[in-house]
Amino acid sequence: MRAASLIVIVAVALPFLLGPFWAYQLGLYALYAAAAVGVGLCWGHAGFLPLGQGLFFGLAAYLSGLTFIAFADLPIIAVLAMPIFAVASALLAYAIGVLVFRRRGESGPYFSMITLALSLLAFQIATSWNSVTGGFNGLKGIPGLPGLNDFSDVYYVSAAMLLAVLAIAGWLYTAPVGVLWRALAQNERRVQLFGFDTNQLKAVAFGVSGLMAGIGGVVYAPQQGIVTPQAVGFGVSADLVIWTAVGGRANLLGPVIGTLLVGSLTAQLRDTLPFWEVLMAIFFIVIVLAFPRGIVGLADPLASFLKGRRKQAHVAAPKRLSSDQPARLVLNGVGVRAGEFTILDRLSLDFDPTGIFCVIGPNGAGKTSMFNAVSGELATVTGSIDLGDASVSGLTPHRVTRLGVARKLQIPSVFQHLSIADNLAIALWSGRARKLQLLDPRLRRWTTPMLEDLQKRYPFLASVERKAGELSHGEQQILELAMALLTEPRVLLLDEPCAGLSPEETTAVIGIVRWAAQRLGGAIIVIEHDMSLVKELAEVVYVLHNGTLLAKGSVAAIQADAAVRAVYVGGEK
Amino acid sequence: MDPLIVTQAINLVYAVSTLAVLALGLAVIFGLLGVLNIAHGEFIMIGAYCAYVTQSGHWPYLAAVPLTLIVCGILGWAVEWIMIRPLYRRPFDTLVATWGLSLLLRKIAEAIFGLGFYSVNIPLPGTVHFLDTEYPIYRLLLIAVSLLIVVGLVIWYGGSRTGSRIRAMVSNPDLAQAQGISVRRLAAGTFIVGTCLAGLGGVMLAPLIPVQPFMGLDYVLRAFFVLIVGGLGSVSGLLSGAAVIGGVDSIISATSSATDGYFAVLVLSILFLWLRPRGIVARS
């Protein structure tokens, strides 16, 4: 709050301090800054880089400019239409996001290149569609916003838009959706396995960034009085990325500071200093390589002072949305292939609704692939997988998770850059939070009796500020295990939960698994190599070999089984 | 045969084969090193400016080839050393860094040569009589040279010792290193080959296009679309990608407008990303 009031005071005071010329300049850059905040949202939070953001800025600017010209006598209509055009930019961005992210979940180079291509396409259309856009020379003679008298009025409109954009961004960053964006930027697969549709989350992020660019664009047209193809093209798109990087992409205010600083410096120096833009390009590369936090990163101590600290009361989380009754997991003739290799060969398994089960087998037996098939990450070519009455086969990973299947991966994959509290919160939202609730920051204070018990057992889980990446390997394993438990799944899949742990940590994990089995009352399926662990945990042991079930039974029965011994000792198949 | 159809057909072959060469350098760097070099187009631009410099110095046109190889080679070496090497296996950061590089190269070109267009004279003017039609001899030459470059590179990659070392590096860099292959030098070499190929493409095309600082953007996108459609890792993929992108673009541009051609290529690429994410010649 302290920071917010400071920003408002500065924004109001600026025109008095700097005079009308600078107020006008800043008014323009405030609009670019609004779009840059959107770039920061995508790049610094959701982890994908839009290279063609000018498209949404320019589209909104053209629409708004055309309307202001068409309704020159009745400017109030154009004013009323402005929000619609900003939303139109948002919808276009969302649609593009859905299209591009849909199949591949692609947020690397492919997304960036396609947005770059789209902005070049928009530039071509704006240049060649003379009758509507005015062609290369642009849309001229756009009337100004009605009722504004001087430069500082114009500035206040832009500043108000920017503050609105900042308010939206600040709110989203504290809401669960912001936490999920930062989480999926680190490990998208893990977020899916917690039951969230990451492709949609990314499309929403891109849509919001389109809205922010659109808000800048609709005001730009009446403010400048002209919209040229440059507004949709590569130049603006590139500038937005540079400003965002220089200011600090992950910070709320970074893109704004970058835009105001670099933008106004460029306006001053471009003509006097011949190599200014070359210097800026070098500066950009250095920032990206060496200072990913940008200028704002230098001022972190100040930021933590302004943020203030207060303790927040916890709220009880609701029950899971889907059924939490224990259910039988049945794999019936499941086949998985990769090219010519058969990974699972008509594998049939049947797990009771409650109990601890161990899956063992030599390397390459298909143990982890079996988990991947259940959690929807590997497509099956034959057979079916059912959980109780529901069919699991063919569902995407996030839908499988919502049915009550949780998973702990072999390599500890907690969200390193998020706090322990946020890591645990993501697990609590899994299967409990409805989509719109992800906008409610209060969800970050959720707790459950199970979380409180876990925090009593492992006090480090109660830490608020520590990042998950600061934990030791063993603590990270326990954190991830705790996260899997907090979803209160009907079926919990644990892939070598004790790999790389010390004897003490192993004992701790065994304790937690036993405790969880009682507490959850569901099925826990453990992949394990260590026979001493299997002896301690398993009620029933399943032996996999070459993608099929070789044997099933109690530990003693398995150890006595001749076929199993042959596989392990290296006899004939 | 109708001379017009013959001309159009050769035009198509010309568009496809030059596009294949322009995409080749990007494919080498992306396919082998996993680095999407957005500055690829700017290396093409550098090649074109080298051709312009050669012409304004009144040297023979072929002198542009060694000049480009030297400039793009040294630049590629420096870029790999300073920017790319610290970022291997961090594809997102290389994307941003090479994007910054493309900006830098463009601004340098702008600072040296200005924003204006330059044109380069065609070194081999005149036409040749070919299947009832007159066709510019330089374009025919380009078709031949393009195919020669693609085929030559493939034979070298498949047959030479260095080629097999590169294959070892691509499939397992750590193991290759353990076998005594200097992965670092090999990766640098691969990167330089990619930038030099881009430069050569620029020299070849310079006489047929306006030379200006922003020319590279268009080419890197086209080359990238070729890789999306054709998929990575095979010559047949590269050629079929070039055929689809070059073909669709020139046919629609000829019958409708350049904007429509561009739009069609973009939509096609997104469709491929959706339906055949590993390209036409996907190896299952």
Clarify whether residues A288 and A427 are in a common domain.
no
Q: What is the 3-state secondary structure (H, E, C) of B193-213?
A: HHHHHHHHHHHHHHHHCCECC
Clarify whether residues A363 and A264 are in a common domain.
no
Averaged pLDDT score across all residues of chain A = 84
Per-residue model confidence (pLDDT) at position A107:
57
- Strand A355-360 to strand A382-387: parallel, antiparallel, or no bridges (unpaired)? unpaired
Kindly indicate the confidence band of residue B73, based on its pLDDT and cuts at 50, 70 and 90. very high
Clarify whether residues A475 and A533 are in a common domain.
yes
Q: State how far residue A45 is from chain B, nearest Cα, in angstroms.
A: 14
AA identity, residue A287: I
DSSP secondary structure letters along A15-41: HHHH-HHHHHHHHHHHHHHHHHHHHHI
Chain A partners within 8 Å of B103 (Cβ): 238, 242, 281, 284
Are the Cβ atoms of A289 and B258 closer than 8 angstroms? no
> Pick the residue with more confidence: B38 or A142?
B38
Among A119, A127, A277, A341, most B C-beta atoms within 10 A, so best to mutate, is A277
Q: What burial letters (b/e) apply to A206-234, b meaning 16+ CB within 10 Å?
A: bbbbbbbbbbbbbbbbbbbebbbbbbbbb
| Burial of B200 per CB tally in 10 Å (0-12, 13-18, 19+) | buried
| Burial of A563 per CB tally in 10 Å (0-12, 13-18, 19+) | middle
Residue at A316 is within a domain: no
Place of tokens 């856009």: A133
Find, among A93, A61, A86, the residue nearest to A215 by Cα. Answer: A86
Per-residue model confidence (pLDDT) at position A572:
44
Are the Cβ atoms of B217 and A120 closer than 8 angstroms? yes
Clarify whether residues A167 and A40 are in a common domain.
yes
Mind listing the pLDDT tens digit for each residue in A539-561?
888 888 888 888 888 888 888 88
How far is the CA of B18 from the CAs of A19, A148, B211, B258, in angstroms? 56, 56, 17, 18
pLDDT over 70, % of chain A = 95
Range of the domain at A456: 353-369+405-569
Residue B10 token pair: 């050769």
Phi first, then psi, for residue A76 (nearest 5°) are: -60, -35
Clarify whether residues A234 and A357 are in a common domain.
no
Q: Which of A13-22, A198-207, B56-65 shows the lowest per-residue confidence on average (mean pLDDT)?
A: A13-22
Chain A partners within 8 Å of B218 (Cβ): 120
Quote the CA–CA distance of B177 and B159 in Å, as a whole number. Answer: 21
Residue at B264 is within a domain: no
Mind listing the pLDDT tens digit for each residue in B139-167?
888 999 998 998 888 888 888 888 888 88
Nearest beta carbon to residue B263 from set A121, A275, A284: A121
Chain A residue with minimum CA distance to B90: A108
Kindly indicate the confidence band of residue B284, based on its pLDDT and cuts at 50, 70 and 90. very low
Residues on B contacting A at a C-beta cutoff of 8 Å: 36, 38, 83, 86-87, 91-93, 95-97, 99-101, 103-104, 107-108, 110-111, 214, 217-218, 221, 224-225, 228, 257-259, 262-263, 266, 269-270, 273-275, 277, 284
Per-residue model confidence (pLDDT) at position B1:
63
Per-residue model confidence (pLDDT) at position A573:
42
Nearest beta carbon to residue B103 from set A106, A274, A281: A281
DSSP secondary structure letters along A390-406: EE-TT--HHHHHHTTEE
Are the Cβ atoms of B111 and A100 closer than 8 angstroms? no
Q: What is the mean pLDDT of residues A433-448?
A: 85
Are the Cβ atoms of A110 and B95 closer than 8 angstroms? no
Residue at B112 is within a domain: yes
Number of folded domains in chain B? 1
Length of chain B: 284
| Burial of B146 per CB tally in 10 Å (0-12, 13-18, 19+) | buried
Mind listing the pLDDT tens digit for each residue in A117-152?
888 888 888 888 877 787 777 788 887 777 777 777
Quote the CA–CA distance of A427 and A418 in Å, as a whole number. Answer: 13
Find, among B46, B19, B32, the residue nearest to B193 by Cα. Answer: B32
Residue at B269 is within a domain: no
Q: Which of A266-270, A460-464, B67-71 shows the lowest per-residue confidence on average (mean pLDDT)?
A: A266-270
Clarify whether residues A32 and A130 are in a common domain.
yes
Q: State how far residue A333 is from chain B, nearest Cα, in angstroms.
A: 23
Number of folded domains in chain A? 2
Residue A568 has pLDDT above 80, yes or no: no
Residue at A381 is within a domain: no
Please state the ipTM of this predicted complex: 0.84
Residue at A348 is within a domain: no
Residues 6+ apart with CB under 8 A from A350: A328, A329, A330, A331
Find, among A513, A531, A548, the residue nearest to A356 by Cα. Answer: A513
Question: Helix or strand or coil: residue A433?
Answer: coil
Mind listing the pLDDT tens digit for each residue in A64-81?
988 888 888 888 888 888
- Strand A315-316 to strand A446-447: parallel, antiparallel, or no bridges (unpaired)? parallel
> Pick the residue with more confidence: B67 or A76?
B67
Q: Which of A89-103, A169-183, A303-317 shows the lowest per-residue confidence on average (mean pLDDT)?
A: A303-317
Residue at B129 is within a domain: yes
Q: What is the mean pLDDT of residues A276-302?
A: 80
Clarify whether residues A365 and A290 are in a common domain.
no
Residue at B243 is within a domain: no
CB of B207 closer than 8 Å to CB of B122: yes
Quote the CA–CA distance of A233 and A116 in Å, as a whole number. Answer: 9
Residue A340 token pair: 């010519």
Question: Helix or strand or coil: residue A347?
Answer: strand
- Strand A341-351 to strand A329-338: parallel, antiparallel, or no bridges (unpaired)? antiparallel
Residues 6+ apart with CB under 8 A from A35: A53, A56, A57, A212, A213, A216, A217, A236, A240
Among B218, B270, B283, most A C-beta atoms within 10 A, so best to mutate, is B270
Residue B129 token pair: 């009589």
Chain B partners within 8 Å of A110 (Cβ): 228, 273
Clarify whether residues A159 and A271 are in a common domain.
yes
Clarify whether residues A222 and A281 are in a common domain.
yes
Residue B269 token pair: 């690429």
The gap between the terminal CA atoms of chain B, to the nearest Å, is 41
Find, among A136, A91, A100, the residue nearest to A118 by Cα. Answer: A100
Clarify whether residues A265 and A357 are in a common domain.
no
Chain B residue with minimum CA distance to A127: B259
Per-residue model confidence (pLDDT) at position A177:
92
DSSP secondary structure letters along A41-54: IIIIII----S-TH
Residue at A257 is within a domain: yes
Kindly indicate the confidence band of residue A101, based on its pLDDT and cuts at 50, 70 and 90. confident
Per-residue model confidence (pLDDT) at position A59:
92
How far is the CA of B262 from the CAs of A58, A115, A135, A363, in angstroms? 19, 14, 18, 50
Residue B193 has pLDDT above 70, yes or no: yes
Per-residue model confidence (pLDDT) at position A308:
52
Quote the CA–CA distance of A36 and A238 in Å, as a whole number. Answer: 11
- DSSP3 helix / strand / coil % (chain B, rounded to 5): 75, 5, 20
Q: What is the DSSP letter of A553?
A: E
Mind listing the pLDDT tens digit for each residue in A329-369?
888 888 888 777 888 888 888 888 888 888 888 888 888 88
Residue at B65 is within a domain: yes
Quote the CA–CA distance of A386 and A391 in Å, as a whole number. Answer: 4
Residue at B98 is within a domain: yes
Averaged pLDDT score across all residues of chain B = 86
Residue at B149 is within a domain: yes
CB of A549 closer than 8 Å to CB of A349: yes
CB of B31 closer than 8 Å to CB of B237: no
Residue A91 has pLDDT above 90, yes or no: yes
Find, among A231, A215, A221, A230, the residue nearest to A72 by Cα. Answer: A221
Compute, in degrees rounded to 10, the torsion defined by CA atoms A400, A402, A403, A405: 70
Kindly indicate the confidence band of residue A304, based on its pLDDT and cuts at 50, 70 and 90. low
Q: State how far residue A129 is from chain B, nearest Cα, in angstroms.
A: 10
Per-residue model confidence (pLDDT) at position B134:
80
Quote the CA–CA distance of B166 and B186 in Å, as a whole number. Answer: 7
Residue A521 has pLDDT above 50, yes or no: yes
Compute, in degrees rounded to 10, the torsion defined by CA atoms A383, A385, A391, A397: -110
Mind listing the pLDDT tens digit for each residue in B111-145?
888 888 888 888 888 888 877 778 888 888 899 99
Among B107, B220, B226, B252, most A C-beta atoms within 10 A, so best to mutate, is B107
Residue A88 has pLDDT above 80, yes or no: yes
* pTM for the predicted model, two decimal places: 0.86
Q: What is the DSSP letter of A269?
A: H
Mind listing the pLDDT tens digit for each residue in B200-235?
999 999 888 899 998 888 899 889 889 888 887 777
Task: List the CATH number of the domain containing A459.
Answer: 3.40.50.300
Quote the CA–CA distance of B23 and B118 in Å, as a whole number. Answer: 24
> Pick the residue with more confidence: A569 or A205?
A205
Kindly indicate the confidence band of residue A507, based on its pLDDT and cuts at 50, 70 and 90. confident
Per-residue model confidence (pLDDT) at position A512:
86
Clarify whether residues A136 and A64 are in a common domain.
yes
Q: State how far residue A315 is from chain B, nearest Cα, in angstroms.
A: 38
Per-residue model confidence (pLDDT) at position B197:
92
Clarify whether residues A411 and A303 are in a common domain.
no
Range of the domain at B90: 3-214
Per-residue model confidence (pLDDT) at position A300:
64
Residues on A contacting B at a C-beta cutoff of 8 Å: 47, 49, 51, 99-100, 102-104, 106, 108-110, 112-114, 116-118, 120-121, 124-125, 128, 234, 238, 241-242, 245, 274-275, 277-278, 280-282, 284-285, 288-289, 339
Q: What is the mean pLDDT of residues A398-411?
A: 85
Question: Helix or strand or coil: residue B123?
Answer: coil
Residue at A336 is within a domain: no
| Burial of B27 per CB tally in 10 Å (0-12, 13-18, 19+) | buried
Per-residue model confidence (pLDDT) at position A306:
53
Cβ-Cβ pairs closer than 8 A, A with B, add up to: 97
Chain B partners within 8 Å of A128 (Cβ): 257, 259
Per-residue model confidence (pLDDT) at position B91:
75
As a whole number of angstroms, the longest Cα–Cα distance in chain A is 93
